[in-house]
Amino acid sequence: MSLHLGSIAPDFEANTTMGPVRFHDWIGDQWAVLFSHPKDFTPVCTTELGRAANLKAEFDQRRTKMIAVSVDSVEDHHKWLGDIEETQNAKMNFPIIGDEQRKVAQLYDMIHPEANDTLTVRSVFIIDPNKKIRAMVTYPASTGRNFTEILRVIDSLQLTDDYKVATPVDWKDGDDCVIVPALQDPAELERRFPKGYRVVRPYLRLTPQPNK
């Protein structure tokens, strides 16, 4: 079954570097980022996991838990963690799933045979507290992810869940937002956007970020 935005993230049980998890219970009432890395003891993955660990406070602020997965064993992950901490000046502070049987990798379609028969690509799934997949991004093994961008997407999702806005190109927290085109009633516009808004085109209206 293919996964789409809005699909319920498949649930699973797995062993991790922080003990066993049942995925949906582990998410609880928070947001989650599930991301795959191709293999333990590889350079790009080492930098990514260190960076993610160093950004944990930022993810916490957004009520978002991180969990990584690769097709190596928890035992191998543990051996690798010391290298990550030493070389990336990081303290590993989120679980890494051991997925030797490729159960999670298959559930989430993380193995792309045209890229590699056995290893996962760099998948990112952003999942909301209702366990719905809200964003999916896929990178090749050769390209390390930008975790600041992942935080930016979470900011956009959480903002646009609460207000009738969308976020324009290169938006970051604090920038102006666009008002959703469906909202046309002048009284409602005034009520929802007391800071005012600017009409660039009838379909392109900018307003200061409503929750700032």
Which positions are annotated as active-site residues? 45
Please answer whether residues 196 and 207 qualify as being in contact, where contact means their C-beta atoms are separated by less than 8 angstroms: yes
Asked whether the beta carbons of 111 and 121 are under 8 A apart, the reply is yes
| CA 164/CA 161 separation, integer angstroms | 8
For the chain, the residue count is 212
Q: Does 97 bind ligand BEZ (CB under 6 A)?
A: no
Measured from the CB atom, the residue of 110 and 141 that comes closer to ligand BEZ is 141
Among 53, 141, 151, 157, binds ligand BEZ (CB under 6 A): 141
| Least distance from ligand BEZ to the Cβ atom of residue 43, Å | 4
- How far apart CA 162 and CA 170 sit, in angstroms, is 20
Is position 67 an interface residue for ligand BEZ (rule: CB under 6 A)?
no
Nearer to ligand BEZ, 48 or 155 (CB): 48
Nearer Cβ to ligand BEZ (38/50): 38
Note whether 73 binds ligand BEZ by CB under 6 A.
Answer: no
What backbone torsions phi and psi does residue 65 show, to the nearest 5 degrees? -100, 145
Q: Is 95 among the residues that bind ligand BEZ (CB under 6 A)?
A: no
**CB atoms closer than 10 angstroms to residue 212:** 10
Three-state DSSP class for residue 186: helix
Smallest gap from Cβ 117 to ligand BEZ, in A, equals 13
Question: By CB under 6 A, how many residues form the interface with ligand BEZ?
Answer: 8
The number of beta carbons lying within 10 Å of the beta carbon of residue 109 is 16
Binding mask 36-55 for ligand BEZ (x = CB under 6 A): --xx--xxxx----------
Rounded-to-integer distance, Cα 123 and Cα 155, Å: 19
Q: Examine residue 113 and tell whether it contacts ligand BEZ (CB under 6 A).
A: no
* 179/208 Cα distance (integer angstroms): 10
CB 139 within 8 A of CB 125: no
* Shortest Cβ 171–ligand BEZ spacing (Å): 29
Judged by beta carbon, residue 71 or residue 133, the one nearer ligand BEZ is 71
Least separation in angstroms between CB 48 and ligand BEZ: 7
CA angle 104, 3, 9 (to 5 degrees): 55
Supply the minimum distance, in Å, between the C-beta of residue 46 and ligand BEZ: 7
Interface ranges with ligand BEZ (CB under 6 A): 38-39, 42-45, 141-142
